[in-house]
Structure 1
Amino acid sequence: MNQTTVNPWLGKLYRDRNTQFLFLQIVGWFSLSLISFFSLTLWYNQQSFAYIAHTLLQSVLGVAVSWPLRSVFHYLWNKPLALRLLLTIVSVLLCSLIWSALRIGTFLWMTDETDVWADFGGWLFGSIMIFLCWAAFYHGIKYYQLLQSEHEALLNFAAENKEEQLKRSRAETIAQEAQLKMLRYQLNPHFLFNTLNAISALVVGRSAANANTMIMQLSNFLRYSLENDPIKRVTLDQEVSALKLYLNIEKTRFADRLELEFDVDDAAHDVRIPSLLLQPLVENAIKYAIAPAEKGGKISIFAKLDDGHLIIEVKDTGPGIDVKKHSMSSGPGIGLKNTVDRLSAFYGDNYTFELRGPDGGGMTIYIRLPLEKQTAESNAVLGLGR
Structure 2
Amino acid sequence: MNQTTVNPWLGRLYRDRNTQFLFLQILGWFSLSLISFFSLTLWYNQQSFAYISHTLLQSVLGVAVSWPLRSVFHYLWNKPLLSRLLLTVLSVLACSIIWSALRIGAFLWMTTETDVWADFGGWLFGSIMIFLCWAAFYHGIKYYQLLQSEHEALLHFAAENKEEQLKRSRAETFAQEAQLKMLRYQLNPHFLFNTLNAISALVVSRSSANANTMIMQLSNFLRYSLENDPIKRVTLEEEVRALRLYLDIEKTRFADRLELEFDVDPAAHEIKIPSLLLQPLVENAIKYAIAPAEKGGKISVFSKLDGEHLVIEVKDTGAGIEGDHHSMVSGPGIGLKNTVDRLSAFYGDNYVFELRGPNASGMTIYIRLPLEKQTAESNAELVLGG
Same fold (TM over 0.5): yes
Equivalence for 2:135: 135
Structure 1 residues 24 and 4: alpha-carbon distance in aligned structure 2, compared to 1, 3 A threshold: same
What CA distance in whole angstroms lies between the structure 2 residues aligned with 1:251 and 1:168?
47
Structure 1 residues 49 and 210: alpha-carbon distance in aligned structure 2, compared to 1, 3 A threshold: farther
Equivalence for 1:39: 39
Which amino acid counterpart does residue 282 of structure 1 have in structure 2? V
Structure 1 residues 41 and 265: alpha-carbon distance in aligned structure 2, compared to 1, 3 A threshold: farther
Equivalence for 2:122: 122
Gaps of 5+ in 1: none
Q: C-alpha displacement at 1:310, in angstroms?
A: 1.3
Which amino acid counterpart does residue 362 of structure 2 have in structure 1? G
Equivalence for 2:227: 227
What CA distance in whole angstroms lies between the structure 2 residues aligned with 1:59 and 1:238?
86
Q: C-alpha displacement at 1:366, in angstroms?
A: 0.3
Q: Within 5 Å, which residues of 2 pair with 1:76-225?
A: 76-225=76-225
SS of 2:273's equivalent?
Answer: strand
SS of 1:311's equivalent?
Answer: strand
SS of 1:64's equivalent?
Answer: helix
Contact 2:199 2:215 in 1 (8 A): yes
Which amino acid counterpart does residue 18 of structure 1 have in structure 2? N
Contact 1:230 1:274 in 2 (8 A): yes
SS of 1:357's equivalent?
Answer: strand
Q: Deviations over 1:117-174 (max 9, x none)?
A: 3322211111110000101111122222223323333333343344334433433333
Aligned length: 377
Greater shift after overlay, 77-86 or 125-134?
77-86
Contact 1:243 1:278 in 2 (8 A): yes
What CA distance in whole angstroms lies between the structure 2 residues aligned with 1:118 and 1:98?
16
Equivalence for 1:271: 271
Which amino acid counterpart does residue 267 of structure 2 have in structure 1? A
What CA distance in whole angstroms lies between the structure 1 residues aligned with 2:156 and 2:206?
74
SS of 1:319's equivalent?
Answer: coil
Greater shift after overlay, 53-62 or 108-117?
108-117
Q: Within 5 Å, which residues of 2 pair with 1:204-353?
A: 204-321=204-321, 327-353=327-353
Q: C-alpha displacement at 1:280, in angstroms?
A: 0.1
Q: TM-score, normalised by structure 1?
A: 0.88
State percent identity of aligned pairs. 90
Which amino acid counterpart does residue 139 of structure 1 have in structure 2? H
Contact 2:322 2:358 in 1 (8 A): no
Contact 2:321 2:358 in 1 (8 A): no
Contact 1:257 1:296 in 2 (8 A): yes
Residue 55 (str. 1) matches residue 55 (str. 2): yes
Q: C-alpha displacement at 1:286, in angstroms?
A: 1.6
Structure 1 residues 249 and 66: alpha-carbon distance in aligned structure 2, compared to 1, 3 A threshold: same
What CA distance in whole angstroms lies between the structure 1 residues aligned with 2:256 and 2:9?
88
Q: C-alpha displacement at 1:281, in angstroms?
A: 0.3
Q: C-alpha displacement at 1:86, in angstroms?
A: 1.9
Structure 1 residues 266 and 45: alpha-carbon distance in aligned structure 2, compared to 1, 3 A threshold: farther
Residue 70 (str. 1) matches residue 70 (str. 2): yes
Q: Deviations over 1:305-356 (max 9, x none)?
A: 21321111011222334558x9424443321122122222322322211111
Contact 1:183 1:338 in 2 (8 A): yes
Which amino acid counterpart does residue 250 of structure 1 have in structure 2? E
What CA distance in whole angstroms lies between the structure 1 residues aligned with 2:372 and 2:190?
29
Contact 1:270 1:373 in 2 (8 A): no
Structure 1 residues 160 and 373: alpha-carbon distance in aligned structure 2, compared to 1, 3 A threshold: closer
What CA distance in whole angstroms lies between the structure 2 residues aligned with 1:79 and 1:322?
76
Contact 2:281 2:314 in 1 (8 A): yes
What CA distance in whole angstroms lies between the structure 2 residues aligned with 1:68 and 1:285?
90
Q: C-alpha displacement at 1:7, in angstroms?
A: 3.4
Which amino acid counterpart does residue 286 of structure 1 have in structure 2? I
Q: Deviations over 1:178-235 (max 9, x none)?
A: 2222222110110000111121122223333332232222222222222322223332
Structure 1 residues 218 and 149: alpha-carbon distance in aligned structure 2, compared to 1, 3 A threshold: same
Contact 1:321 1:362 in 2 (8 A): no
Contact 1:320 1:362 in 2 (8 A): yes
What CA distance in whole angstroms lies between the structure 1 residues aligned with 2:372 and 2:229?
17
Q: C-alpha displacement at 1:374, in angstroms?
A: 4.9
Structure 1 residues 118 and 322: alpha-carbon distance in aligned structure 2, compared to 1, 3 A threshold: closer
Q: Calculate the aligned-residue CA RMSD, in Å.
A: 2.7
Greater shift after overlay, 315-324 or 35-44?
315-324
What CA distance in whole angstroms lies between the structure 2 residues aligned with 1:86 and 1:323?
81
